[in-house]
Structure 1
């Protein structure tokens, strides 16, 4: 029986069961190929009391984030997204040289570099040793630690309260929602702001983005469930923005409850959309598993047919979401010869579970495959442009989600 990590209820309902998979960022070296891999159930449930969607907390953040394979700066569009956010936040909040900005889970400094360039004092709080070191080498002040109420208070005591605390794409990654939220409140000034970006459960359900369900993501938020979660730390959500990132995300603006004021009209609009989609009741979740099965069948049918014709299919990207898709579909090197990634950390390694080789991107042009399966489908615009050269030999791009789409590209 699952106990909701937000409200403590045991009234949960299954949304989809994806079997058992290894952690999505635990890429294997060649020496590890003869070793067994730990696998954990991957099952999405929703609490019918507070409507937080979540998976069982079977691994700990320490298992995943002490050394991490994901470096944000390898995505050009993501760095540009961060640059635009910093510019808008500076204008919205009136940040200047006397301000202080803290980013939690700051990765390799992809966002705070833009804060540094504006002459604004900042600090990254990043749990992963290797990516935190990359941030420091890039000139971004960074401390290696997990955020808790205690560490939040320590950072505040050492550096002062933050005018802005940024928590982009981390609020789903922590099993202790209550403690992490209190940590955010410990960091922020009593009249400050907290900005949280997280994938929107509304688009995940509506567009069958099930590959974003993996063990690093412990919960999946609507605006309503995120509002309830942040309230446990004394933070009130006053505004929300809908973003295209990760196939559809929300940016929540929150303040300490004492100074928050009334929420914006945009809050009411998005809450109404969620309610209309049935996400505050079970009806919104009942058909999701059937749509997931359809995505799996369509992708496998394409790959098997391509293999029967003698066509070559390789992958582009080795994101965590790709490993959910590959494992759920049971795809092996006989159907996907290899995938490539811009992150050299992953080169020469193998995808967890499916053990597909990860190679440098240059291999695609050298091998001229018939099809390139794009695993980070959420970067479709960026990658269609980057991979336009595939059209030189008549190759095509394949996007598996929200539905199978085979695209001719012009070089």
Structure 2
């Protein structure tokens, strides 16, 4: 395995999570008797450029041709997108004569807000089923994988984009250089690119090992993102830190010729990374031991609950949850089922551990003692949505960044462990 950014051959282990199935391959009941293919899930960092990465053991076509994740099912995520559009329209002065392109536009959760403002836009979404949902909602969407050739073709057909949005996709591309060239091909020579991606500093600091899965091919600091974008003639000029996904960065990027000097807050984030050791190999070591301790903590709680005859179910069936379930070896003896708002997943089973996925209403029917929240990054949203479990003394369990068991009641919630 060579680094996909610089080609260097010396890659150092950060954490080895064993072997798991791809995180979005939910099983139908008919497939339960069939074998599942698993792939190593071993995160390494390049000793030369410090890009943290997984080997490309599965292709984007394997993952994204039909996809189980629909962004619009998260209320807080839709609200986040709406705020982004409103703020960006003001920041860049976008109007009805502007043109916006989004790479990996999913079900149109973001571009729908662009459409409502009368701004011309186009979504590029590789998953046929998800892109179809976007078109049904009035968002122009092409079923494509972005790369340099596709970017050049779309620029020739539709013109250069004033804004290219690439939210939560820059980690999902195994051919990093080709995708970066595609971004440059799409954007106008005086245009802007906005990229949101999980911050490696937050992943390490808060033990967010479950965000490591096969469709994430790399994990970025601002510094490593700078190096990646430079390969396409692009420069990072500003950075925002965001709470999304447990800690993300929003990179504001421009073609090098018009970039100008970096902002003070970009310098501040780079300084924080350096202080945490993330600009050297030392900041990437020790993560495996921290993950092992967290795993033991969660398993100890679930085993105690089983011995006490307590019922534990899950909330959510996100990709990250399947990394957690598989690495910890959590099966139906410890987690009876999980629920999800996405009807696509109902009646299916999680990959690997084969936990049944049911509609959210099942929790009120069964009145479990504990609800393990797998999309822990939506803590505020789900704490409010699941407040009703306090009616029977139910408690919420958040597994990351450390085990937190929260007593719920209709009026207030407090940590009890």
Matched, 1:307 2:306: yes
In the alignment, what sits opposite 1:297? 296
Which residue number corresponds to residue 199 of structure 2?
200
Query: 3-state DSSP class of the match of 2:30?
Result: helix
Q: TM-score, normalised by structure 1?
A: 0.99
Residue 262 (structure 1) shift: 0.6
Counterpart of 1:241 in structure 2 is 240
Structure 1 portions without partners, runs of 5+: none
Q: Shift of residue 280 of structure 1?
A: 1.3
Contact 2:340 2:360 in 1 (8 A): yes
Counterpart in the other structure of 1:48: 47
Note the C-alpha offset of 1:59.
Answer: 0.4
The separation in 2 between residues aligned to 1:195 and 1:381, in whole angstroms, is 25
Equivalent in the alignment of 1:103 = 102
Q: SS where residue 106 of structure 2 aligns?
A: coil
Q: Residue 12 of structure 2 corresponds to which residue in structure 1?
A: 13
How far apart in 2 are the matches of 1:353 and 1:101? 39
Q: Give CA deviations for 1:339-364 in whole Å, capped at 9, x if unaligned.
A: 00000000000000000000000000
Aligned CA RMSD, in angstroms, stands at: 0.5
After TM superposition, the structure 1 = structure 2 runs for residues 322-341 of structure 1, keeping only pairs within 5 Å, are 322-341=321-340
Aligned residue number for residue 159 of structure 2: 160
What corresponds to 1:93 in structure 2? Answer: 92
1:191 corresponds in structure 2 to 190
- The aligned counterpart of 2:135 is 136
Asked if 1:282 corresponds to 2:281, the answer is yes
Instruction: Give the match for residue 58 of structure 1.
Output: 57
Deviation at 1:11, TM superposition (A): 1.6
Distance in 2 between the 1:267 and 1:371 partners? 41
> How far apart are residue 148 of structure 1 and its match?
0.8
Q: In the alignment, what sits opposite 1:393?
A: 392
Structure 2 partner of 1:209: 208
SS class of match (1:372): strand
Which structure 1 residue ranges, 4+ long, deviate > 4 Å from structure 2?
none
The Cα offsets for residues 268-322 of structure 1, whole Å up to 9 and x where unpaired, read as: 1111110110111121122211110011101111111101110000000000000
CA displacement at 1:48 relative to structure 2: 1.1
Offset at residue 92 of structure 1 (A): 0.5
Per-residue Cα deviation, 1:359-400 (whole angstroms, up to 9, x for no partner)? 000000000000000000000000000000010000000000
Report how far residue 75 of structure 1 moved. Answer: 0.1
> Counterparts of 2:182 and 2:300 in 1: how far apart (Å)?
47
* Count of aligned positions: 410
Residue 415 of structure 2 corresponds to: none
Deviations 1:66-122 (A, max 9, x none): 000000000000000000000011000000000000000000000000000101000
> For each residue in 1:153-193, what CA deviation from the matched residue of structure 2 results, as whole angstroms up to 9, or x when unmatched?
11111111000000000000000000000000000000000
Shift of 1:410: 1.9
In the other structure, the counterpart of 2:414 is none
Structure 1 match to 2:259: 260
Q: Does residue 1:122 correspond to 2:153, yes or no?
A: no
Q: State the partner residue of 1:219.
A: 218
1:76 aligns with 75
Q: CA deviation at 1:409?
A: 1.4
> 1:47 and 1:274 mapped to 2: Cα distance?
16
Map Cα deviations across residues 112-154 of structure 1 (whole Å, 9 max, x no partner): 0000010100000000000000000000000000001000111
Q: Which string of whole-angstrom CA distances, capped at 9 and with x for unpartnered residues, describes residues 210-231 of structure 1?
A: 0000001000000000010011
For residue 26 of structure 2, what is the aligned residue in structure 1? 27
Q: Secondary structure at the match of 1:132?
A: helix
**SS of the residue 2:269 aligns to:** helix
How big is the shift at 1:3?
0.4
* Secondary structure, counterpart of 2:14 in structure 1: strand
In structure 2, the gaps of 5 or more residues are 411-417
Which moves more between the two structures, 164-173 or 277-286? Answer: 277-286
Q: Is the 8 A contact 2:50 2:281 kept in 1?
A: no
Q: Residues of 2 paired with 1:19 and 1:319: CA distance?
A: 19
